């Protein structure tokens, strides 16, 4: 009996071991056969039972024989698969196949190879890039007056426009040979983050020409002639670009634009030529009102087959259209939420341009969508993540200091638990954002074009930015709300919905893109299966599908077992790639990776194309992927910074927040999964011990809050790269200065309270009078009284908000919407 039990345990152990290690089918068969043979020869069980076991083993063994496997498993499955595979438009396929697979791919394996991430070099600025940040970028920040820009001018002043052009701010991605700065992705990101901490308008203005737009498209697809003409002009600022894709009827579904370009004969600048007649109406186009050249996306038709092919509908195409071409109408402005960077509609009626206006020339007709999605991955990793992170760092820096200098109930508000927990959340979120931004920029500099991470970063940095700025507004109270030259939060608050909406609006990005693209691109087998199903050579297709299917089955079983064992052991069975206090987070990411991979496979296998419609399920799986990705970025960022021990609370807070959220989203996914029994099976493999992961504790939150409400090195590291120079118009510098003074002032304030107010020797109600009385009765020395008066003056300069004469706030000349409509109709 005991022997039989031991054999049974050995059998179970071997099966689990083979599955956990994801050994090949042949190896698994051999290992199980050996155990079964041993059991048959020495086990005490009756012969009929052993026969049943061998009979159950036989199909597993037979699947090693390729013709049998193909006939009885792969072929029938292939037929069903082809029927179930959702139809995909070419634009959808191009979007799915764009960019590269990087660390996101590892997270889909269930067993990430950490060395791939940890061995990557830390992003670094060259001396030239550092000099730009310390020189022109610093100088620009000093020139910017956000209130003047947003309230009086609704534009950057002319000298700032000149400075931006002259110093190459619009040419960070343009190679030096064309007169650009040729900065690394990391440097580009650092410039935007710094500007974002100073001016919403300047940052948005600089971000656009360096992101997806004419320069980026020309660099990758332009003809030599186009590059030589446009790139030096763009680098010098002789040309100001904008990119027009969005139309009134085509927002998120940008591929459905109704704008057309018809190939025809016409006259361009006095010359008869074959060209395009363009009719379009675009809106929301950043820089359009001041642009001199418009990168335009439209649908190309060639009814007379002048391009020489048989096609008449070429699909989406991109051309560069001079703003002064006859029929072009631009100059009017939208007014995006009191953050008045240049943005407006562009219209064109019968605009004629030659064929070589197409980016890349006529041979690139119809390639527009591919061009856009291929290049979007890089720009989307940089512009909005840097913009949001710079703004978030500024908010944390000012809020940490403000909470320390602002007293209520005779106590700095940073000491109240409620405020402390909000500040901890702000700091933890800012760490996550900075880690994601900088590590991913480093990967781009290493040659990656990470498509799925670009969606993750775009969505999460803008969402976390929104949480941070809301938190900052809560902590700073009326100070954040009353607009005026003294307000340093309001415009950032107003900017957040803009980041949320552009470059793929966030609801769409979360529900449709992150997981949808990841499941196809990053999964080790799905794309191979899909490609096989679309292959017209049936023999080859079946062979490829057979290989992929066997890999996929082994992969799914393996992840189910890994998930179960790691959950049961609280992931202690996993070997972390590092030692020390962060090791546990690596182990937990490995656990969630296996659970996520298993859940992904079950969902795709059981729901197929229907999963695309079940957006809330996809969104939750996307959240799990995003949380693992961002937690990995946090760990790598900590590593890149030399693992400073003082920053550990930030790292722990960030990782705990993310992994707790991963757990909660997996749990919600299971609760809402439409097939009950499958949800139960998944729950068994994913949460056999229930929900065991906890969010950051209050104690940890307190440690984090202390790091950013004191003048610590961790605070400086977290908020590194923002504009915090101490000068009269820089609020971030001033609030930091006051916080440093607060550390020395607090014991003196306490002395006044304890020795003066409580004993009745100091009776005044306001601090300046209390200081006078305390000095008079000898509680403070003359020097201490002077020190406190100076401190109080600086604090009150920060605490004060602006007020205005009523006529100063009267609205200017705004055309009423009705009158505007009538004018347009006329
Ligand atoms: C200030 C600003 C600057 C811009 N700059 C440019 C520019 O320079 N060039 C340019 O071409 N465009 C630009 N845009 C356009 C921007 O990219 C679009 O606003 C964006 O694509 C969303 O389109 P929409 O506003 O029409 O929203 P809609 O497409 O109407 O979407 C409305 C809501 O529905 C959600 N939604 C839509 N489809 C789905 C789905 N399948 N699943 C789930 N949710 C969905 C969206 O997430 C969104 O929340 C800019 C926009 C703004 C506001």
CA of 506 to the centre of ligand 1 (A): 9
Count, in order, helices (H) and strands (E) of the chain: 36, 9
Give rounded-to-5 percent helix, strand, coil for the chain. Answer: 65, 10, 25
Q: 19 pLDDT exceeds 50?
A: yes
Asked if pLDDT for residue 516 goes beyond 50, the answer is yes
Examine the pLDDT at 819 and tell me if it is beyond 80.
Answer: no
Say what the pLDDT of residue 820 is.
Answer: 43
Q: At what angle do helices 648-671 and 615-640 cross, to 10 degrees?
A: 160
- The least confident of 36-50, 70-84, 443-457, 736-750 is 36-50
The pLDDT of residue 546: 94
Query: Which atom belonging to ligand 1 lies closest to the Cα atom of 252?
Result: 29
* pLDDT for the residue numbered 75: 94
Closest C-alpha to ligand 1, atom 31: 252
How far away, in angstroms, is 327 Cα from ligand 1 center?
Answer: 26
Is the pLDDT confidence value at 329 over 90?
yes
Which residue has the CA at smallest separation from atom 26 of ligand 1? 251
Could you tell me the distance, in angstroms and rounded to a whole number, from the CA of residue 245 to the centre of ligand 1? 11
Rg (CA), the chain: 31
Catalytic residues: 503
Residue closest to 398 by CA, chosen among 719, 802, 794, 803: 719
Name which residue sits closest to atom 45 of ligand 1, judged by CA: 508
261 within 8 A of 276, measured Cβ to Cβ = yes
Contact 494, 481 (CB under 8 A): no
Q: How far is it, in rounded angstroms, from Cα 216 to Cα 213?
A: 6
Expressed in angstroms and rounded, the spacing between residue 496 Cα and the centre of ligand 1 is 14
Q: Which residue has the higher pLDDT, 817 or 191?
A: 191
pLDDT tens sequence across 119-134: 999 999 999 999 999 9
DSSP letter for 275, please.
E
Smallest CA-to-CA distance from 389 within 339, 439, 446 is with: 439
**What is the three-class DSSP state of 314?**
strand
Atom of ligand 1 nearest to the CA of 503: 17
Buried b (16+ CB within 10 A) or exposed e, 588-605: bbbbbbbbbbbbbbbbbe
Residue 173 Cα, ligand 1 centroid: separation in angstroms? 25
Average pLDDT over every residue of 212-239:
95
* DSSP designation for 450: B
Which of 290, 298, 335, 505 to probe ligand 1 with, by most ligand atoms within 8 A of CB?
Answer: 505
| Mean pLDDT score across all residues of the chain | 94
Element (H, E) at 526: helix 526-534
Q: What is the pLDDT of residue 612?
A: 84
Res 812: pLDDT: 58
Beta bridge partners of 250: 247
Is 385:437 a contact under the CB 8 Å cutoff? yes
User: pLDDT value at position 96?
Assistant: 74
Q: Name the residue of 330, 466, 501 to mutate for ligand 1: max ligand atoms within 8 A of Cβ.
A: 501
pLDDT band at 93 (very low <50, low <70, confident <90, very high): confident
* DSSP helix/strand/coil, 600: helix
Please list, residue by residue across 179-204, b when 16 or more beta carbons sit within 10 angstroms of its beta carbon and e when fewer do.
bbbbbbbbbbbbbbbbbbbbbbbbbb
Residue with tokens 């077992």: 561
Residue 448: partners with Cβ closer than 8 Å, 6 or more residues away: 100, 102
pLDDT of 824: 43
pTM score, whole prediction: 0.94
Given pLDDT bands bounded at 50, 70 and 90, which one contains residue 825?
very low
Contact between 189 and 234 (Cβ < 8 Å)? no
Q: Where are the alpha helices (DSSP H) in 406-416?
A: none
Instruction: Please give the distance of CA 248 from its chain centroid, rounded to a whole number.
Output: 26
- Give the span between the Cα atoms of 223 and 235, in whole angstroms: 17
CB atoms within 10 A of CB 73: 17
**Per-residue model confidence as pLDDT tens digits over 596-652:** 999 999 999 898 878 888 999 999 999 999 999 999 999 999 999 999 999 999 999
pLDDT of residue 1: 66
Over residues 568-582, the pLDDT tens digits come to: 999 999 999 999 999
Q: What angle do CA 363, 366, 368 make, to 5 degrees?
A: 105
Q: How confident is the model at residue 374 (pLDDT cuts 50, 70, 90)?
A: confident
For the beta carbon of residue 41, count every other beta carbon within 10 angstroms: 8
Express each pLDDT in 428-453 by its tens digit. 999 999 999 999 999 999 999 999 99
Task: In whole angstroms, give the CA distance from residue 668 to residue 682.
Answer: 12
pLDDT tens, 246-274?
999 999 999 999 999 999 999 998 899 99
Q: What separation in Å is there between the alpha carbon of 505 and the centre of ligand 1?
A: 5
Q: Which atom of ligand 1 is closest in space to residue 507's alpha carbon?
A: 47
How many Å apart are CA 165 and CA 158, to the nearest integer?
11
Query: Which DSSP string do the residues of 342-356 spell out, in sequence order?
Result: SEEEEEEEEEEEEGG
pLDDT computed for residue 665 by the predictor: 98
Atom of ligand 1 nearest to the CA of 505: 47
- Measured distance CA(430)–CA(693) in Å, rounded: 22
* Residues with C-beta less than 6 Å from any ligand 1 atom: 243-246, 251-252, 284-286, 336, 343, 498, 501-502, 505, 507-508, 511-512, 615
**What confidence category does residue 82 fall into, taking pLDDT thresholds of 50, 70 and 90?**
confident
Please state the separation of Cα 557 from the chain's center in Å: 32
Q: Does position 823 have pLDDT exceeding 60, yes or no?
A: no
Q: How far apart are CA 150 and CA 147, in angstroms?
A: 5
Give the position, in ligand 1's atom list, of the atom nearest the Cα of 282: 11
Q: Which of 211, 246, 511 to mutate to test the pocket of ligand 1 (most atoms within 8 A of CB)?
A: 246
From 81-90, 230-239, 315-324, 785-794, the region with the lowest mean pLDDT: 81-90
Q: How far from the centroid of its chain's Cα atoms is residue 139's Cα?
A: 29
| Continuous segment of H or E residues that includes residue 407 | strand 407-408
Instruction: Supply the DSSP string of 160-179, one letter for each residue.
Output: HHHHHHHTTGGGTTS-GGGT
Torsion of CA 402, 404, 406, 409, to 10 degrees: 150
């Amino acid at each position: 009996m005991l022997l039989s039990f031991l054999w049974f345990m050995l059998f179970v152990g071997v099966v689990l071991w083979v599955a956990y290690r994801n050994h090949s089918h042949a190896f698994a068969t051999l290992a199980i056969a050996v155990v079964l043979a041993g059991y048959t020869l020495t086990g005490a069980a009756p012969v009929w039972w052993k026969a049943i076991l061998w009979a159950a083993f036989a199909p597993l063994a037979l699947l090693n024989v390729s013709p049998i496997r193909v006939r009885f498993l792969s072929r029938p499955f292939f037929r069903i698969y082809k029927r179930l595979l959702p139809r995909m438009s070419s634009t959808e396929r191009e979007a799915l196949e764009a960019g590269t697979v990087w660390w996101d791919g590892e997270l889909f394996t269930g067993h990430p190879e950490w060395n791939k991430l940890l061995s990557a070099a830390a992003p670094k600025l060259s001396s030239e890039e550092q000099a730009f940040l310390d020189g022109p970028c610093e100088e620009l920040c000093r020139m910017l007056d956000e209130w003047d820009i947003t309230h009086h001018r609704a534009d950057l002043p002319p000298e700032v426009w000149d400075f931006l052009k002259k110093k190459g701010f619009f040419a960070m991605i343009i190679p030096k040979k064309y007169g650009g700065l040729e900065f690394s992705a990391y440097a580009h990101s650092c410039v935007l983050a710094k500007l974002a901490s100073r001016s919403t308008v300047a940052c948005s203005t600089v971000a656009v020409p360096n992101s997806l737009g004419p320069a980026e498209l020309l660099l990758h697809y332009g003809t030599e002639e186009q590059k030589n003409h446009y790139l030096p002009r763009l680098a010098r600022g002789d040309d100001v670009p904008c990119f027009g894709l969005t139309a009134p009827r085509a927002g998120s579904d940008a591929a459905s634009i109704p704008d057309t370009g018809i190939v025809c004969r016409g006259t361009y600048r006095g010359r008869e030529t074959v060209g395009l007649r363009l009719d379009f109406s675009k809106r929301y186009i950043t820089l359009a009102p001041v642009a001199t050249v418009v990168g335009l996306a439209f649908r190309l038709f060639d009814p007379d087959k002048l391009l020489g092919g048989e096609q008449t509908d070429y699909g989406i195409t991109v051309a560069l259209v001079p703003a002064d071409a006859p029929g072009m109408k631009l100059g009017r402005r939208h007014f995006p939420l009191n953050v008045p960077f240049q943005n407006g509609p562009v219209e064109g009626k019968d605009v004629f341009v030659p064929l070589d206006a197409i980016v890349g020339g006529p041979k690139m007709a119809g390639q527009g969508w591919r061009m856009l999605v291929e290049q979007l991955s890089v720009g989307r990793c940089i512009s909005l993540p840097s913009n949001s992170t710079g703004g978030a760092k500024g908010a944390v820096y000012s809020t940490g200091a403000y909470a320390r200098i602002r007293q209520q109930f005779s106590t700095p508000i940073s000491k109240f638990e409620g405020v402390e927990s909000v500040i901890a959340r702000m700091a933890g979120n800012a760490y996550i954002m900075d880690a994601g931004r900088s590590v991913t920029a480093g990967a781009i500099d290493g040659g990656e074009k990470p498509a799925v991470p670009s969606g993750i970063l775009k969505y999460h940095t803008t969402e976390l930015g929104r949480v941070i700025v809301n938190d900052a507004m809560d902590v700073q109270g009326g100070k954040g709300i009353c607009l005026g030259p003294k307000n340093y939060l309001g415009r950032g608050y107003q900017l957040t919905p803009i980041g949320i909406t552009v470059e793929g609006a966030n609801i769409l990005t979360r529900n449709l893109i992150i997981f949808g693209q990841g499941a196809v691109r990053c999964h080790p087998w799905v794309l191979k299966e899909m490609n096989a199903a679309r292959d017209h050579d049936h023999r080859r297709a079946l062979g490829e599908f057979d290989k992929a299917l066997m890999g996929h089955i082994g992969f799914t079983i393996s992840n189910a077992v890994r998930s179960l064992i790691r959950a049961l052991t609280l992931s202690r069975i996993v070997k972390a790639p590092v030692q020390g206090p962060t090791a546990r987070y690596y182990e937990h990411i490995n656990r969630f990776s296996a659970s996520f991979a298993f859940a992904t496979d079950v969902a795709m296998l059981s729901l197929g194309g229907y999963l695309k419609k079940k957006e809330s399920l996809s969104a939750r799986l996307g959240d799990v992927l995003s949380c693992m990705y961002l937690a990995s970025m946090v760990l790598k960022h900590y590593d890149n910074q030399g693992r400073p021990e003082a920053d550990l609370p930030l790292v722990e807070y960030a990782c705990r927040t993310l992994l707790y959220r991963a757990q909660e989203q997996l749990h919600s996914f299971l609760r809402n999964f439409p097939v009950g029994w499958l949800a139960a099976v998944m729950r068994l493999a994913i949460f056999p011990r229930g929900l065991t992961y906890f969010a950051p504790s209050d104690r940890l939150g307190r440690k984090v809050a202390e790091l950013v409400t004191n003048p610590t090195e961790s605070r400086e590291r977290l908020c590194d790269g923002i504009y915090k120079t101490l000068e009269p118009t820089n609020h971030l510098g001033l609030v930091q200065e006051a916080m440093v003074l607060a550390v020395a002032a607090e014991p003196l304030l306490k002395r006044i309270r304890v020795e003066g107010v409580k004993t009745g020797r100091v009776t005044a109600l306001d601090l300046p009078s209390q200081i006078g009385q305390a000095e008079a009765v000898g509680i403070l020395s003359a020097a201490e009284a002077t020190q406190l008066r100076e401190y109080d003056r600086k604090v009150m300069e920060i605490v004060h908000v602006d007020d205005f004469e009523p006529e100063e706030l009267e609205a200017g000349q705004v055309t009423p919407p009705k009158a505007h409509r009538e004018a347009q109709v006329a």
